[in-house]
Amino acid sequence: MNRGVVGERPGRVEYSLTELGESLEPVIVEMRDWGREHLAAASDEDSSIA
């Protein structure tokens, strides 16, 4: 995570992902897709998620 102070009044801070952080995108997308798939399966079975 990069943190940059923007020279404005009042002071403001902007954050952005580093290249290393951006490299996690495929992992996060796969986890999202897994969650959606299993949430749908749990809903289809009319069961609760613990």
E-assigned strands of the chain? 2-6, 12-16
Two structure tokens written together for 8: 């404005």
> CA 23 to CA 50: how far, in whole Å?
30
The model's pLDDT over 9-49, given as tens digits with 9 standing for 90+, comes to 888 999 999 999 999 999 999 999 999 999 877 776 655 55
Higher pLDDT, 6 or 25: 25
Residue with tokens 């943190």, as numbered in its chain: 3
The pLDDT of residue 21 is 96
Tell me the pairing of strands 12-16 and 2-6.
antiparallel
Instruction: Look at residue 43 in the predicted model and tell me its pLDDT.
Output: 72
Question: CA separation (Å) from 50 to 6, 8, 44?
Answer: 43, 46, 15
- Delimit the domains of the chain by residue range: 2-44
